[in-house]
Amino acid sequence: MPGRGTEAGPGLEEAGLRLDVEGPVATLTLNRPERRNAMTFAMWHAMAAVGRSLPEDVRVVVVRGAGPSFSAGIDLGMFAPGGEGERRFSGGADPAEADRFIAGLQEGFTWLRRPGVVSVAAVHGHAIGAGFQLALSCDIRVIADDTSFCMKEPALGLVPDLTGTKPLVEIVGVPRALELCLTARTVGAEEAARLGLAEIVTPRDGLDAAVRGLVDSLLAVNAGAAAATKRLLWQAPERTLEEQAAAERHEQIGRLRELFASRP
Ligand code: ACO
């Protein structure tokens, strides 16, 4: 069912994306199945635009892939001789301009961590390179049992730069992250769950139902409490116990004020 459009609407289809907004739930679908949802610069810019223009009442964002795979990562066509990658980043490119350009691409991923929404990656098939990083950018990963993750960038002479290194290290720690990235090996669903890379593993044909069940549970919780709790939890690793205790008090006072103010 088509959802409400957003300012980011025009251009989404050309960028290989589909956005369906149904009340508090937005579903962002990588929609280039014939290319295994390989991602282009245009797609990442469009994802950033979706983040900027998402209706304020959206509380959950589901990110999924159409066809047999979640995403085969960056569109390798961009690295073909004379392709967009070479044009932008060859030796003569201005480093400051290149830095700004990559920051713009990263924006397509970082908004998924903002407190007002809970982002859920619904992953099946391959999630390679940028596809793995996109799954890592989400708060929660629900994966089908045919999922395989691979951080392929180093094998191609690159680093993972779409904001995936921080969540990867947060989840598996530096030694395991090093082992995964520097061997570029494939991690199957069972191991992914064991490493904490997936919160829910489901048979392939149960993925949509598992995501729906999770979304219903997330929506059943008070919206303000959800946003405040997400803020607290994501900031916890950076803080001392005292700082976190102070942050809990601050958030709780806000919650209590709002709860009492809403009483008849
Ligand atoms: N970029 C561009 N086109 C791609 C990509 C990609 N990353 N991945 C797949 N395609 C294309 C294939 O070229 C093929 O096109 P064709 O039908 O014109 O021949 C089509 O999508 C289907 O791909 P197949 O390889 O036939 O599909 P299969 O299911 O057998 O394999 C797989 C899927 C494993 C994902 C394989 O396509 C693959 O290894 N792709 C490359 C993955 C990769 O190295 N990504 C870069 C990671 S690094 C980063 O993201 C920064």
- At residue 2, the pLDDT reads 35
Taking the CA atoms of 208, 211, 215 and 216 in sequence, report the sign of the dihedral they define. Answer: positive
**Does the CB atom of residue 126 touch ligand 1 within 6 A?**
yes
SS3 (DSSP) at 50: helix
Ranges of residues in the chain with a pLDDT under 70 are 1-10
Residue ID of nearest Cα to ligand 1 atom 6? 75
Q: Quote the CA–CA distance of 28 and 20 in Å, as a whole number.
A: 7
Residue nearest to atom 41 of ligand 1 (CA): 72
Ligand 1 atom closest to 130 (CA): 50
Whose structure tokens read 């982002």?
A: 119
Place of tokens 């956005």: 19
- Decide: 74 in ligand 1 pocket, CB within 6 A: yes
Residue 86's pLDDT is 87
Which pTM value belongs to this model? 0.95
Q: What is the pLDDT of residue 7?
A: 52
H-helix or E-strand containing 140? strand 140-144
Q: Check pocket membership of 105 for ligand 1, CB cut-off 6 A.
A: no
Mutate to test the pocket of ligand 1, among 30, 36, 151 (most ligand atoms within 8 A of CB): 36
Residue 251, classified by CB atoms within 10 Å of its CB into exposed (0-12), middle (13-18) or buried (19+), is middle
110: CA distance to ligand 1 center in Å? Answer: 25
Strand bridging mode 200-202 / 140-144:
parallel
Helix 223-235, helix 241-261: angle, nearest 10 = 170
Copy the structure tokens of residue 205: 């044909």
Q: What angle do CA 206, 210, 213 make, to 5 degrees?
A: 140
pLDDT on residue 205: 98
At 121, phi and psi to the nearest 5?
A: -90, 125
Query: What domains can be seen in the chain, in order of their start residue?
Result: 6-219 (3.90.226.10), 223-261 (1.10.12)
